[in-house]
Structure 1
Amino acid sequence: MRENNDNPGTHSRGAPPDTRGTGPVQEAVDQIDQFQQRHKPVAIAVAVARKFAEDQSTRLASMIAFWAFFSLFPLLLVFVTLLGFLLPTGIKATVLEHVASMIPLVDTSAMHGLSGSWWALIVGLVNALWSGLAVVRTVEVAFNAVWEIPYVKRPGLFSQLLRALGVLATVGLGLVVSTLVTGFVSGQSTGIDLGWTGRVAGYAVAIALDVGLFVAAFRILTNRKITTRQVLPGAVLSGVLFWVLQSLSSLIISRYLHNAQSTYGHFATVITILWWFYLQSLITLAGAQLNVVLTERLHPRGLRDSPDTEADQRAYDAYAKERTYHQEERVQADFPRADRSRHRGQ
């Protein structure tokens, strides 16, 4: 926090800052800081970006992307093995082509040779269940970290597993349905042109499904009582961006991925899938951060002299209290130099 010895604590919201002894860059930052604190939409965006960085959400997104990528291929192994049991070879190839057109960034052409096998089915089911539970548990850890829930109040392993099974059976099925709807409406899997009205209606249904899934995920996987109204803004943001990402992934498959495979082979597919899951995780956590900022009113945040605003102090207090490991432990964050800050957010 910057020391300000000239009339400390005298600046109020909207008053020009004391820039004596500072350079033009600092003056420009002060002006930008005043602007974003006066305008609520900008202040919310800045607060979300700051909290996103302070919570190290990119690291959490990387963990989610890893386990999502790890769970993809066991699921495909189970799916292809079941097709080998249930369908003849010709029909199985047709079904795989439809699946490849609807599931983003998945090339099933290398799986045509697989047939029904009990050992492959068992191994695939065990790995898919294990990795799927790991994905859900990692998302739950990320949501609890975003809401700064103290460690002592977070669920144990058994509770996490039960909750993860429920989420896999509901949200996971919903994601499959949403992907199928998007593929059907776009005509990629059926070749049917629904017309612009049919497409608009179909896309609206797909987006509504995505938003509903995020509402359910935000509420179920956060270990505190939150309402649908509290998670709806973030669910809308994440749901719309998720649908956009699904649509863009189809463009990547049809125009770029196959060309890249001719040069880089399956390495291009692996990198692309990892990036796709990583971007999915980022937009999910961005929606969760928006919910926290709005619910806890963690805006406006200062850009320079943190803790510059009352929201800064409450955010830092929550970060400290998150590290509570015992029921009898009490954590309190003090800001002895807060009276020397500008408090423009008051």
Structure 2
Amino acid sequence: MNQQKGRSGSQVKAKLEQVDRFQREHRAVAVPVAVVRKFAEDRSPQLASMIAFWAFFSIFPLFLVFVTLLGFFLPSNLRNNVLTTVGTMFPLVDPSSLQGLTGSWWALILGLVTALWSGMRAVRVTQFAFNSVWELPYKDRPKFVEQIGRSLSVLVTIGLGLVLTTLVTGFVAGAAGALGFSWTGHLLGYAVAVVLDVGLFVAAFRILTNREITTRDVLPGAMLSGLLFFVLQSLSSLIISRYLHTAQRTYGQFATVITLLWWFYLQSIVTLLGAQLNVVLKEHLHPRALAASLDTEADERAYRAYAQERAYHDDEHIRTEFRDKR
């Protein structure tokens, strides 16, 4: 029995070493492996969960502000048309339940304050995640006042850009077909949406990372995240317009909440994967080993960076040593 286990273990080890040699020799495989390893080591799924929570939290007060402003400035017939159109793209509330809506100052103020607070929290968590991805030492991370200022600027710029790209994607996926656009018109619309998404990620990666990085440094990850972001936007528009309303009749608002939670979580995963790709390429953190006993130089550089990240004071110095395995 022990001999069989030993032979089985040796075979698994030999296969692992064979796969490891292959991925080390092929950069097209080594880079994705390094990204996935670093993604797991940085606990990026937990960071994505935090980003998704605060993004989801900010949506409802924003919608409250939106419908309150409609009550202030639009007559009832136009207001209902706008709500119906928005409801097809973003069905948080049944437009029929908002008939006779009028503007309310207390609702507007409450919605603005809550949306601002939750939106800033989402930006600050994203900033923390980007700095963690780059293993920026804690002593070099922005202080509270700087975080607040940067969060406000990001909400104004990137937030508006995100709304724009969502509208463009929704138009191309839905309204363009109804208007009879040709395939070239669809293709042009998709290209514009992808370029806008990539530009947003370039801006986000640069603004929310507290170290000197260039557009060239963040462009690979921005292209990956932007493309995947566009795919998720298109899929969400399709699901909302064709399937979610039917599911709502059966499952009520639970269908909407579950869809939105998954959407925000997947968007956060996509964002952090792009950030990880930038770090892996910039810091040459590839190839990585598939087993701890087969560590590479890139593994050692990554482990040193993880240790340096835990520096909390300017006078604190961290030294990392590795045992000679020969």
Q: Which category describes the TM-score, using the shorter chain as reference length?
A: over 0.9
Give 1:257 deviation, angstroms. Answer: 1.8
2:190 equivalent among 188, 203, 207: 203
Give 1:20 deviation, angstroms. Answer: 9.2
Select between 192-201 and 236-245 the one with higher mean Cα deviation.
Answer: 192-201
Q: Does 1:95 align with 2:77?
A: no
Give 1:190 deviation, angstroms. Answer: 8.7
Per-residue deviation, residues 209-267 of structure 1 (Å, max 9, x unmatched): 00000000000000000000000000000000000000000121133322322222111
Q: Does 1:268 align with 2:255?
A: yes
1:157 equivalent among 125, 134, 144: 144
Aligned counterpart, 2:269: 282
Give 1:106 deviation, angstroms. Answer: 4.0
Identity %: 63
Q: Does 1:231 align with 2:224?
A: no
Per-residue deviation, residues 272-331 of structure 1 (Å, max 9, x unmatched): 111100000000000000000000000000001356100000000000110000000001
Provide the C-alpha distance between the structure 2 equivalents of 1:77 and 1:20, rounded to a whole number of angstroms.
65
Aligned counterpart, 1:8: none
TM-score by length of 1: 0.89
- Give the aligned residue type for 2:202: V
Give 1:177 deviation, angstroms. Answer: 0.9
Counterparts in 2 of 1:108 and 1:280: CA distance versus 1, 3 Å: farther
Counterparts in 2 of 1:66 and 1:97: CA distance versus 1, 3 Å: same
Q: Does 1:46 align with 2:33?
A: yes
Provide the C-alpha distance between the structure 1 equivalents of 2:203 and 2:210, rounded to a whole number of angstroms.
13
Give 1:32 deviation, angstroms. Answer: 0.5
Query: What is the aligned residue count?
Result: 320
Provide the C-alpha distance between the structure 2 equivalents of 1:306 and 1:126, rounded to a whole number of angstroms.
53
Native 8 Å contact 2:285 2:299 kept in 1: yes
Provide the C-alpha distance between the structure 2 equivalents of 1:107 and 1:188, rounded to a whole number of angstroms.
21
TM-score by length of 2: 0.94
Provide the C-alpha distance between the structure 1 equivalents of 2:292 and 2:153, rounded to a whole number of angstroms.
45
Aligned counterpart, 2:312: 325
Native 8 Å contact 1:102 1:179 kept in 2: no
Give 1:110 deviation, angstroms. Answer: 6.0
Q: Which runs of 5+ in 1 are unaligned?
A: 1-18, 341-346
Counterparts in 2 of 1:42 and 1:86: CA distance versus 1, 3 Å: same
- Give the aligned residue type for 1:30: E
2:204 equivalent among 194, 198, 217: 217
Select between 91-100 and 244-253 the one with higher mean Cα deviation.
Answer: 91-100
Kindly report structure 1 stretches of 4+ aligned residues shifted beyond 3 Å.
19-22, 105-108, 187-191
- Give the aligned residue type for 1:295: K
Give 1:111 deviation, angstroms. Answer: 5.4
Select between 85-94 and 258-267 the one with higher mean Cα deviation.
Answer: 258-267
Per-residue deviation, residues 186-210 of structure 1 (Å, max 9, x unmatched): 2338932221111100110010000
Provide the C-alpha distance between the structure 2 equivalents of 1:46 and 1:37, rounded to a whole number of angstroms.
9
Give 1:271 deviation, angstroms. Answer: 1.2
- Give the aligned residue type for 1:112: L
Select between 250-259 and 58-67 the one with higher mean Cα deviation.
Answer: 250-259
Q: Does 1:109 align with 2:69?
A: no
Provide the C-alpha distance between the structure 1 equivalents of 2:308 and 2:43, rounded to a whole number of angstroms.
17
Counterparts in 2 of 1:123 and 1:298: CA distance versus 1, 3 Å: same
Q: Which runs of 5+ in 2 are unaligned?
A: 1-5
Provide the C-alpha distance between the structure 2 equivalents of 1:170 and 1:190, rounded to a whole number of angstroms.
30
Q: Does 1:176 align with 2:163?
A: yes
- Give the aligned residue type for 1:72: I
